[in-house]
Structure 1
Amino acid sequence: MKHYWINLDKCADRKEYMEAQFHKKEIDNYRILAETPETIKSNNYTIIRNEQSINTTTPCEIACILSHLKAIARGYADGDPYFCVLEDDIEFLNIDFKKMLKYVEEAQNKNNEVVEILQLYTSSHPVVIQLYNGHFLKDGSGGSSGSGGDIIAKRHEAYPGAVYYMVSREGARKILDKYVNENGYDLSYYSWTAADNIIYAAVNSFVITYPVAITDITLGSVLHPEHLPNHEFCNNIIRHIWTVNNQLKMFSK
């Protein structure tokens, strides 16, 4: 499955980090040059904002949203039924997407709802714990087959993280129709104007209940360096889950 990853020109270390992973895993990938407050200004983008978010959403966060929309637009234009979007500080499993799409089909049948986007990582350790204990382990999941619980669950707004997700072509079209127009971008749809939320808000969004990725905090953070300790705490929770109940084979090649 094609992967579209977002990267700033100034973050050469992150570029090398991601390229090494894609090369090792033999994944078809495309670098998306990230937008910045400077490119937004120089390109004279028109951006409609929700008044509630104007004082709380930084220019860098707006640039992050536009970068995700740029990646989604490229994936949609390439025409595949599904594709993935990533940020550039993630260490991810080499996912077998035939397995993943089987789980998607099961979730669709169970929920009677199309999975238009699947969140593959969350940066919140309480959410990781909740998803693992409340869904993945439900009804005995996590044994030798790991198939007794919900591998995919309905996503809620409180599940942060746009670091790694899989989106369907139909979902991508809905996202682009919602936020992108001929004159620019309409981000007035939602009060919490961050990529962590706005990307998922426009479509039927689900989340994987077993962790398949962690972030590398040694690469720092452009948006929120103050969040790095919490991200590493979440990484450690994920590592603990992998240690006590390694079910990565359910998802890996």
Structure 2
Amino acid sequence: MKNLVINLDRSPDRLKHCHKQFGRLKLDFERVAAVDARGLSQSELDNIVLHKDWPKPTNSEFACFMSHRKCWEILVASTDEYAAIFEDDIILSDSAADFLESSDWVPADVNILRLETFKTKVYFKRWWRLQIRDRHLLKMVGFHAGAGGYIISRRLAVSLLKETVNYMPAPVDHYLFDPGCEVFANNIIFQLVPAVCAQEQVLSAGTLTLGGNIEDRSVVNLIQKKRGSLSGGQKMLRELKRGVYKLKRLAVDKRMIVDVQ
């Protein structure tokens, strides 16, 4: 299994950080030159088809999506069945090597599996879990932010590459891990619990040494904008549906924060 790390040419400090992270675990990785938002031309951006229900991504989000897409291309061109993809501000736990040395432990029906946590409450299937060594795999039923560390299968990478030719539905973490996007609808999204990595901003928010990854997020105010556009009747209907939804969640799903270990 390949370990691919996305890194900008103008971020040698982040590359040095990755060499330390992987080096202390005696793991190899392949650097993938990230697409630089500063180098995107307007013609490139204008040729990308957007999803009608999502706000237009920022240039940084465009570049991030394209960078992950490069990783999917590398996997498809290789002989590996899986690749672990990381952003260059990732912090690996001491036990990460047990899950990154090979993909032998990955169940055959898994297409995408989150290795990281964003330390936010996420919904999972309450009654389903699979023991994997000293951890569990859970099935996600709610959005879990971030695309700093995940495993993807060759078969899913082939599909995603076909779907995203000149098309960007949403920022890459939403595209992969948001129930509002097709990847979530067409695949079971698995989460390794406890996680084996997290981005620096999650673990060391008060003492960042690498800086933020993407500062200008297009979806920050998406929910607030939708709420503000509802009529009185629509708001009442929304509250009724929300009540039913909460009862269903209480019985079927479990909301929890994934720790890192």
Q: TM-score, normalised by structure 1?
A: 0.68
Structure with more of its chain in helix, by fraction: 1
**Number of the residue aligned with 2:85:** 85
**Number of the residue aligned with 1:115:** 110
Identity %: 25
Q: Letter of the 2:117 partner, please give it.
A: T
> Within 2, Cα distance between the matches of 1:34 and 1:98?
21
**Number of the residue aligned with 2:197:** 213
> Within 1, Cα distance between the matches of 2:100 and 2:200?
27
| Structure 2 gap segments, 5+ residues each | 202-207, 218-256
After TM superposition, the structure 1 = structure 2 runs for residues 137-216 of structure 1, keeping only pairs within 5 Å, are 151-180=136-165, 185-188=166-169, 193-200=170-177, 201-202=182-183, 203-216=187-200
Cα deviation 1:123-164 (Å, max 9, x = unaligned): 14223xx66x9679x89x9xxx857xxx11222341112100
Q: Letter of the 1:186 partner, please give it.
A: Y
Q: Letter of the 2:145 partner, please give it.
A: P
**Number of the residue aligned with 2:97:** 95
Of structures 1 and 2, the larger Rg is shown by: 2
Distance 1:159 1:69, change over 3 A: same
Cα deviation 1:96-120 (Å, max 9, x = unaligned): 2389856642xx6xxxxx2101011
**Number of the residue aligned with 1:224:** 215
Maintained 8 Å contact 1:91/1:214 = yes
- Secondary structure at the aligned position of 1:64 is classed as helix
Distance 1:43 1:16, change over 3 A: farther
> Within 1, Cα distance between the matches of 2:77 and 2:22?
21
**Number of the residue aligned with 1:230:** none
> Within 1, Cα distance between the matches of 2:78 and 2:8?
22
Cα deviation 1:199-243 (Å, max 9, x = unaligned): 3443442111212123223111141389xxxxxxxxxx77xx56x
- Give the Å deviation of 1:85: 0.4
- Give the Å deviation of 1:62: 1.2
Maintained 8 Å contact 2:27/2:97 = no
> Within 1, Cα distance between the matches of 2:164 and 2:110?
20
Runs of 4+ with deviation above 3 angstroms: 42-45, 97-104, 133-136
- Give the Å deviation of 1:51: 2.9
Aligned residues: 205
- Secondary structure at the aligned position of 2:54 is classed as helix
- Give the Å deviation of 1:43: 8.1
> Within 1, Cα distance between the matches of 2:55 and 2:60?
13
> Within 2, Cα distance between the matches of 1:214 and 1:154?
19
**Number of the residue aligned with 1:49:** 50
**Number of the residue aligned with 1:231:** none
After TM superposition, the structure 1 = structure 2 runs for residues 23-42 of structure 1, keeping only pairs within 5 Å, are 23-41=23-41
Cα deviation 1:10-37 (Å, max 9, x = unaligned): 2221111001222232323111111123
> Within 2, Cα distance between the matches of 1:160 and 1:169?
23
- RMSD over equivalenced CA pairs, Å: 3.3
> Within 2, Cα distance between the matches of 1:69 and 1:175?
8
Distance 1:159 1:87, change over 3 A: same
Distance 1:99 1:31, change over 3 A: closer
| Structure 1 gap segments, 5+ residues each | 109-113, 227-236, 243-247, 249-253
> Within 2, Cα distance between the matches of 1:32 and 1:101?
20
- Secondary structure at the aligned position of 1:118 is classed as strand
